[in-house]
C-alpha cells in the first residue's frame, strides 16, 4: 500500500495523508462504502482529489463524497474550502453547469389519480416545457431584461407572474444571491443565455413525476408536507449555455492569470486565482449572475409544471396544493463561516456536484426549516429512487456542511450508447410502471439507470455518517428528458 492509497479511518471514511512530495497541503477524505470506493479508484476521482489538495490556501482536507466520480479538474462530488483571505477561487471547482440544482414540488394527489392520466400529464409537460441541447425557452428577453434576471434571480420570475413569494422563501439564498454583476459577463454568454430562460436542457437534466414510497423521518416529512403515497415533482436543471460560457470564459482568465500570481498546480484544469484578486472578484460576480439565472429558470419551469397539472386534472393550483418544498444548488462557491481547528474562519467553500447540508439553527436556512435543519434533495437517475434528506451537525466537521448531490455516473455516455438501445431502456422502465418522454434516442440511452451508481448506497453513506439523514424516498412514475 503506497502513501497515495486510501486507508480506512472509520466506518465509511477513508483518508490519503498529505504528501508534500506530491504538492499536497492537506489530506484527502473520502466518504464511501467499499464498492463505491472501488468505483472511484477505477477512474481519476482520487487523483483529482489529491490534486485539489495542492491548491494554495486550501484548509483542513479535500473532500470526496459518496457519489464522487471523475470531472473537469475537480472530481464531481468534491468539496474544497479555501481561506477567504489567503486562498483561491477556481471555476473548475464550481463546474460548467453553474447552479445545476434540484427543486421539489409536493401535491395532495395520490398515485391512482395520477396514473389514470399519466400519459396525458407527461405529454402535456413535454409539450409545455422546452428541452434538449440548445433548446430555446419560451421567455424572450431584451438586453436589460436579462440584466434584471441576472441580478434578481427567482424574484424576477415571480415579479413576472411565474409563481409567488412563498416559492422564494424555500430556495437556497432565497433564490437571489447578492452582488451578482451582469457587467462581468461576456457578450457570448449573454447570446447563449438570453434565448434559453425557461428550458430544461439535455444530459442528466430531467423533470420527474414521483410518488412518495417511504417515510423515514415523520417529523421532518410533516414539516415539509410530504405524505406517503402522494405525488411529488422533481425538477433538475441549471444555468444552461449561460453558465457554461461563464465557466469557459473564466477558466481562460484564470489560466492566463496563474503566472502573474505565481501559482503552480499539477493540473491546468484546476486553474484558479486569489479569491480577493481582481480576476477572483470578477469571476464571483459573473458566477453569481449565473446562479440567479438558474434559479429564475427553475422557477419558470415550476410555473409551467403547475399549469400542466391544473389542465390535466382540471383543478386549481391551490386545490392541488402544489407547494415548493425546497430548491438546492449543486455547483457553487460561496464564502461561509466554518470552524477550523476550533476557531471560526471565513472560507470559500467550493461544492462541485455537492449539496449544502447545514444542520438546524444556521442563519442561512430559510426560517420555515431553521429549527429543523436544511432539506437536502438527492436525485437518482430516471428509473431509480430520489431522496429527501435532512442536514445534520456531522456535516460541519466532516464535509464543510455538504453531502452528495445524486447517484453519480459510473459509465460514460458513449459506453452507454454502445451497450444499450432506446427500446431496451424504455421497456425496462415501462416494466417498472414508468412512462418516459424524451426528445432524442441518445437522451434516453445515455441516462439509462445502469450508467449510474446505486443512489440508495450513496444515501446510506450520508445517513450512516450523520452528514444528512433520510427523510423520504421518492420513486418515479413519469419522466421527461431533453
User: What per-residue confidence (pLDDT) applies to 438?
Assistant: 86
- One of 303, 350, 405, 463 is an active-site residue; which one? 405
pLDDT in tens, 357-371: 999 999 999 999 999
User: What per-residue confidence (pLDDT) applies to 58?
Assistant: 98
Query: pLDDT category, 124, cuts 50, 70, 90?
Result: very high
- Cβ atoms of 54 and 25 within 8 Å: the answer is yes
Q: What is the mean pLDDT of residues 203-224?
A: 95
User: What per-residue confidence (pLDDT) applies to 453?
Assistant: 81
385 CA to centre of own chain:
16
* Rounded to 5°, angle at Cα 14 from 8 and 17: 100
Residue 29 lies in a domain: no
Taking alpha carbons only, the member of 398, 377, 384, 373 closest to residue 457 is: 384
- Cβ atoms of 477 and 209 within 8 Å: the answer is yes
- Cβ atoms of 434 and 384 within 8 Å: the answer is no
Tell me if 236 is assigned to a ligand binding site. Answer: yes
- Cβ atoms of 210 and 379 within 8 Å: the answer is no
Mean pLDDT, the chain, integer: 95
Q: Where are the alpha helices (DSSP H) in 265-376?
A: 278-313, 317-320
pLDDT in tens, 288-339: 999 999 999 999 999 999 999 999 999 998 999 999 999 999 999 999 999 9
Confidence check: pLDDT of 449 > 60: yes
pLDDT in tens, 384-416: 899 999 999 999 999 999 999 998 788 888 899
Tell me if 382 is assigned to a ligand binding site. Answer: yes
Q: What is the mean pLDDT of residues 166-190?
A: 97
Model's pTM, two decimal places? 0.96
Residue 122 lies in a domain: yes
Residue 132 lies in a domain: yes
pLDDT in tens, 35-44: 999 999 999 9
φ, ψ for residue 82, nearest 5 deg = -110, 145
Distance CA 353, CA 405 (A): 6
Residue 288 lies in a domain: yes
Query: pLDDT category, 443, cuts 50, 70, 90?
Result: confident
Which residue would you say has higher pLDDT here, 98 or 3?
98
Tell me if 386 is assigned to a ligand binding site. Answer: yes
User: What per-residue confidence (pLDDT) applies to 2?
Assistant: 57
Tell me if 321 is assigned to a ligand binding site. Answer: no
Confidence check: pLDDT of 85 > 90: yes
Tell me, what CATH number does 227's domain have? 3.90.1860.10
Q: What is the mean pLDDT of residues 109-133?
A: 93
pLDDT in tens, 127-150: 999 887 778 887 889 999 999 999
Beta carbons within 8 Å of 292's beta carbon, 6+ residues apart: 149, 150, 151, 152, 153, 154, 156, 175, 176, 177, 180
Quote the domain boundaries for residue 389. 101-334+362-481
Is residue 405 flagged as an active site residue? yes
Q: What is the mean pLDDT of residues 327-354?
A: 97
Query: pLDDT category, 3, cuts 50, 70, 90?
Result: low
Tell me if 457 is assigned to a ligand binding site. Answer: no
Dig out the grid coordinates for 343 from the structure. 476557531
Query: pLDDT category, 482, cuts 50, 70, 90?
Result: confident
Residue 296 lies in a domain: yes
Residue 221 lies in a domain: yes
User: What per-residue confidence (pLDDT) applies to 44?
Assistant: 96
Q: Where are the alpha helices (DSSP H) in 143-239?
A: 143-152, 154-159, 165-168, 187-193, 218-224
Taking alpha carbons only, the member of 111, 110, 106, 220 closest to residue 167 is: 106
Count of domains observed in the chain: 1
Residue 47 lies in a domain: no
Tell me if 71 is assigned to a ligand binding site. Answer: no
pLDDT in tens, 87-106: 999 999 999 999 999 999 99
Residue 285 lies in a domain: yes
Burial classification of residue 116, based on how many CB atoms lie within 10 Å of its CB (0-12 exposed, 13-18 middle, 19 or more buried): exposed
Q: What is the mean pLDDT of residues 24-33?
A: 98
Amino acid at each position: 500500500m503506497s502513501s497515495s492509497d486510501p486507508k480506512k479511518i472509520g466506518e465509511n471514511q477513508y483518508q490519503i495523508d498529505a504528501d508534500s512530495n506530491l504538492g499536497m497541503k492537506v489530506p484527502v477524505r473520502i466518504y464511501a462504502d467499499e464498492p463505491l470506493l472501488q468505483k472511484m479508484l477505477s477512474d481519476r476521482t482520487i487523483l483529482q482529489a489529491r490534486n485539489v489538495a495542492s491548491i494554495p490556501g486550501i484548509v483542513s482536507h479535500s473532500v470526496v463524497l459518496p457519489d464522487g466520480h471523475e470531472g473537469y479538474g475537480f472530481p464531481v462530488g468534491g468539496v474544497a474550502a479555501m481561506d477567504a483571505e489567503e486562498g483561491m477561487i477556481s471555476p473548475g471547482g464550481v463546474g460548467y453547469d453553474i447552479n445545476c440544482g434540484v427543486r421539489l414540488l409536493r401535491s395532495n394527489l395520490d398515485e391512482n389519480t395520477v396514473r389514470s392520466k399519466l400519459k396525458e400529464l407527461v405529454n402535456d409537460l413535454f409539450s409545455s416545457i422546452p428541452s434538449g441541447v440548445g433548446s430555446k425557452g419560451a421567455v424572450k428577453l431584451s438586453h436589460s431584461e436579462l440584466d434584471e434576471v441576472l441580478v434578481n434571480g427567482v424574484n424576477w420570475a415571480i415579479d413576472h407572474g411565474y409563481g409567488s413569494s412563498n416559492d422564494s422563501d424555500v430556495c437556497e439564498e432565497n433564490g437571489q444571491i447578492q452582488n451578482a454583476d451582469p457587467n462581468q459577463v461576456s457578450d457570448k454568454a449573454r447570446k447563449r443565455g438570453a434565448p434559453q430562460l425557461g428550458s430544461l436542457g439535455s444530459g442528466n437534466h430531467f423533470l420527474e413525476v414521483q410518488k412518495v414510497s417511504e417515510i423515514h423521518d415523520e417529523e421532518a416529512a410533516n414539516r415539509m408536507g410530504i405524505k406517503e403515497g402522494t405525488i411529488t415533482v422533481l425538477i433538475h436543471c441549471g444555468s444552461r449555455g449561460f453558465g457554461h460560457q461563464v465557466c469557459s470564459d473564466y477558466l481562460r482568465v484564470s489560466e492566463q492569470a496563474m503566472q502573474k500570481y505565481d501559482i503552480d498546480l499539477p493540473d491546468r484544469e484546476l486553474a484558479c486565482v486569489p479569491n480577493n484578486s481582481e480576476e477572483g472578484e470578477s469571476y464571483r460576480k459573473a458566477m453569481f449572475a449565473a446562479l440567479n439565472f438558474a434559479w429564475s429558470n427553475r422557477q419558470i419551469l415550476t410555473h409551467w409544471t403547475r399549469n400542466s397539472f391544473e389542465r390535466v386534472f382540471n383543478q386549481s393550483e391551490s386545490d392541488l396544493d402544489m407547494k415548493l418544498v425546497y430548491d438546492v444548488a449543486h455547483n457553487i462557491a460561496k464564502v461561509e463561516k466554518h470552524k477550523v481547528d476550533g476557531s471560526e474562519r471565513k472560507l470559500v467553500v467550493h461544492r462541485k456536484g455537492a449539496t449544502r447540508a447545514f444542520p438546524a439553527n444556521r442563519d442561512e436556512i430559510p426560517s420555515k426549516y431553521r429549527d429543523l435543519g436544511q432539506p437536502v434533495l438527492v436525485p437518482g437517475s430516471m428509473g431509480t429512487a430520489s431522496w429527501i434528506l435532512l442536514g445534520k451537525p456531522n456535516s460541519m466537521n466532516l464535509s464543510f456542511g455538504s453531502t452528495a448531490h445524486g447517484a453519480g455516473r459510473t459509465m460514460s455516455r458513449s459506453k452507454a450508447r454502445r451497450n444499450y438501445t432506446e427500446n431496451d431502456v424504455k421497456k425496462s422502465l415501462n416494466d417498472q410502471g414508468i412512462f418516459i418522454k424524451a426528445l432524442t434516442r441518445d437522451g434516453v440511452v445515455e441516462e439509462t439507470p445502469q450508467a449510474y451508481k446505486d443512489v440508495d448506497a450513496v444515501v446510506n453513506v450520508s445517513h450512516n455518517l450523520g452528514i444528512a439523514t433520510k427523510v423520504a424516498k421518492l420513486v418515479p412514475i413519469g419522466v421527461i428528458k431533453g
